[in-house]
Structure 1
Amino acid sequence: MINQVILVGRLTRNPEMSSTPQGTPFAQITLAVNRSFRNHNGEIEADFVHCILWRKAAENTCKYCRKGSVLGITGRLQTRNYESREGKRTYITEVVAESVRFLSSRPQSVSTEEKKEESVSVGV
């Protein structure tokens, strides 16, 4: 079986770091990915894809990327579900990132010390 996803898109908001109860860092992001065709009005639409980043990939993305940053993500598609407080079953489909590449330049707010770091491509 094959379950591989490759995306290039822009962050819809600044990424925020979270951690599991066991202390494992993660970040949930949304990428706006343009479609490869125009709609009946001649406009290019976008899909908004939810992604989850783990460990160092999450830490570096939160450190170096901001809303509008272009990311390349390779990962796998995952579906999960849970029951809401109202008793309704909710399904979630997301991409679990296996590697993340930063494809746009660093934001101006990054300090000189951080610019010296080499790693702009992170794997999980």
Structure 2
Amino acid sequence: MTNLTILTGRITKDLELKQAGQTQVTNFSLAVDNPFKKDDTSFFDIVAFGKTAELLNNYCGKGSKILIEGNLKQDRFQDKEGNNRSVIRVIANRIEFLDSKGSNQQNGQPQQQRGQAPTGNNPFSNGNGPIDVQDDDLPF
């Protein structure tokens, strides 16, 4: 029997890393849009443990778009009134970052731009100028 779930969506709140015994854990909700119906979003409870939880906490935040691969886990319990309840969560086994933590921040701060690293004392850098090669230096 197979129990595999793959979801792509956005994290709904800032993540909080907690210690549970000897391992780290983070719980969060993932908003997943219905591709066939506008304004139809489902919210799934996700649990990540260990290195997965640590990576999520370090590189993702509210609004981050991620892909989760995991399995469904049903927890049964009784509420304060003694009623039997059930909740289904996705236990994350694998994650993919579809954008970075900073790409969704809306605080007006400019994001770090990607570009060429400064050359400094790079012996292979020619300053993007022409290279002087003599015909005698070529082996053909």
TM-score by length of 1: 0.78
Q: Which deviations, in whole Å up to 9, do the C-alpha atoms of 1:53-89 show, x marking residues without a partner?
A: 0001101111111100001000001111111222111
Question: What residue in structure 1 maps to residue 88 of structure 2?
Answer: 93
Q: Please, what is the CA RMSD of the aligned residues?
A: 1.7
1:100-119 matched pairs, under 5 angstroms: 100-107=95-102
1:106 deviates by: 3.3
Query: Would you tell me which structure has more strand in proportion to its own residues?
Result: 1
Q: How many residues align?
A: 105
Q: Is the 8 A contact 1:28 1:51 kept in 2?
A: yes
Letter in 2 for 1:77: L
Alignment check: 8 A CA contact 2:11 2:63 kept: yes
Gaps of 5+ in 1: 113-124
In structure 2, the gaps of 5 or more residues are: 106-111, 113-140
Residues of 1 paired with 2:39 and 2:73: CA distance? 26
Give the letter aligned to residue 10 of structure 1: R
Query: What is the CA–CA distance in structure 1 between the aligned matches of 2:86 and 2:101, rounded to whole Å?
Result: 35
Residue 51 (structure 1) aligned to one of 28, 46, 50: 46
Q: Name which structure has the greater RCO, CA cutoff 8 Å, separation 6+.
A: 1
Identity within the alignment, %: 30
**Alpha-carbon distance in structure 2 between the residues aligned to 1:44 and 1:37:** 10
Q: Is residue 52 of structure 2 the alignment partner of residue 35 of structure 1?
A: no
* TM-score, normalising length: structure 2: 0.70
CA drift at 1:19 = 2.0
One of 43, 66, 70 as aligned partner of 1:71: 66
Query: Per-residue CA shift, 1:65-123, capped at 9, x if unaligned?
Result: 110000100000111111122211121101001101111023178xx9xxxxxxxxxxx
Secondary structure at the aligned position of 1:36 is classed as: coil
Instruction: Give the letter aligned to residue 8 of structure 2.
Output: V
Q: 2:6 is matched with which residue?
A: 6
